[in-house]
Amino acid sequence: MQSTVTLRDVAQAAKVSIATASRALAGEGLTSRSTEARLRRIAAELGYRPNALARGLKTRTTRLVGLVVHNLTNASFRVLAEVVQRRLRAEGYQTILCITADDPEQEAEIIATLADQRVDGLIICPTGHNGARLAALDSNGTPVTCVVRRDEMVEMETVLAADPEGAYAGTRHLLELGHRRIGLIVGRRETTSGRERLSGYRRALEEAGIAFDPSLVHAGPYEPETGLAGCRQLLDRADRPTALFVANHESALGVLRGLAERDLLVPDDISLLCYEDMPGFAWQRPAISVVDSGATAMADLAADRLLQRLRPNAAPPAETAREYRIGARLIQRHSCRPVAP
């Protein structure tokens, strides 16, 4: 195989100018039908493939978009990566996936590199410390869509889960089953999701006329260890909660372990409800009820929004700086049961 065949080679082989070759292959009837067909044939024979760098340099568009997430362990991010990648590719865009590990410095570096690469757009779950850079990009003509988390510092198009409502609905469900002491294991208060899920839980309780008891909530990072620790803390109380609401799936692993340690059976001894679905929950026995935060829908909407703004007739950024919320949805399986009378 020869190294690389350029437009020049194609043009020479067809005895036309480079310009004509370019136009012929661009389609759009810029050349006569016959030359177009001929050029196409020759290009195919020679195995010509346009150089994306040169094209990008000239046209100022690369058909690359950056996707920036914290990790791939969390199911939401995984789904995000898969869905966004698929959706964008269907429209002719390549996805550059980058992982920040939730570290603002790495994020800053990634944003810069992506900008150097002249990506056409960006979907990002921001750490919250680089809002200015993102806003700069956005107003410079590179659309940025935030997802999963919001950057509080700056106005940008954002698609989020309806966490307050989701947590509210989950808590309501448990309340309606008659539970009064509901333990909550939730993310740190510094994160949007941590705060919002807590507030939904709290609102549901207060509406039901139950005083909010801070000692019933355990907050920590999204890790199994948090679940285990929370479980221990909550289960060692004299008035053990009759239900546990675990506000993310990483902690759920630890909770399951904690329950097993104490030989507590779900749902006989205690009810369990989780936030964010994952494959394991449906296959578990008993299958675990869940309020699904709608990761797929979020990913789809994020892709939609970005694609929308990537189209030639882009709306002015001011117009697009709004916030979308994806509704959460309760999936009842078999881990919750009415409290015994």
Query: Which residues of this chain interact with DNA, rule CB under 7 A?
Result: 4, 6-8, 15-20, 22-26, 29-35, 48-51, 54-55, 57-60
Residue number, 18 or 264, with CB nearest to DNA: 18
Residue number, 37 or 112, with CB nearest to its own copies: 112
Piece in contact with its own copies (CB under 8 A), picked from 149-157, 234-242, 253-261, 316-324: 253-261
Both structure tokens of 136: 């700069």
Considering only residues 123 to 162 of the shown chain, the ones binding its own copies according to CB under 8 A are: 136, 139-141
Q: Do residues 231 and 259 lie in contact, with contact meaning Cβ atoms separated by under 8 Å?
A: yes
Residue number, 196 or 300, with CB nearest to its own copies: 300
Give the type of residue at 198. L
Residue 85 binds which one of DNA, its own copies, none, with CB within 5 to 8 A depending on kind? its own copies
Distance in angstroms (rounded) separating the CA atoms of residues 302 and 123: 7
Residue 28 binds which one of its own copies, DNA, none, with CB within 5 to 8 A depending on kind? none
The H or E element that residue 301 is part of is: helix 295-310
Piece in contact with its own copies (CB under 8 A), picked from 94-102, 203-211, 236-244, 310-318: 94-102
Convert residues 203-232 into a mask of x (bound to its own copies by CB under 8 A) and - (unbound). ---------------------x--------
Residue 141 binds which one of its own copies, DNA, none, with CB within 5 to 8 A depending on kind? its own copies
**CB 327 → its own copies: shortest distance, Å?**
24
Contact between 49 and its own copies by CB under 8 A: the answer reads yes
Pairing status of strand 329-331 against strand 289-292 = antiparallel
Both structure tokens of 245: 């609401």
Distance in angstroms (rounded) separating the CA atoms of residues 302 and 309: 11
Distance in angstroms (rounded) separating the CA atoms of residues 105 and 209: 45
Residue 210 binds which one of its own copies, DNA, none, with CB within 5 to 8 A depending on kind? none
Residue number, 103 or 165, with CB nearest to its own copies: 103
Of the residues 57, 208, 265, 315, which one makes contact with its own copies according to CB under 8 A: 57
Residue 305 binds which one of its own copies, DNA, none, with CB within 5 to 8 A depending on kind? none
Where b means 16+ CB within 10 Å and e means fewer, 110-126 reads bbeebbeeebbbbbbbb
Please state the three-class secondary structure of 178-218 as a single string. Answer: CCCCEEEEECCCCCHHHHHHHHHHHHHHHHCCCCCCHHHEE
Return the residue matching tokens 């994160």: 191
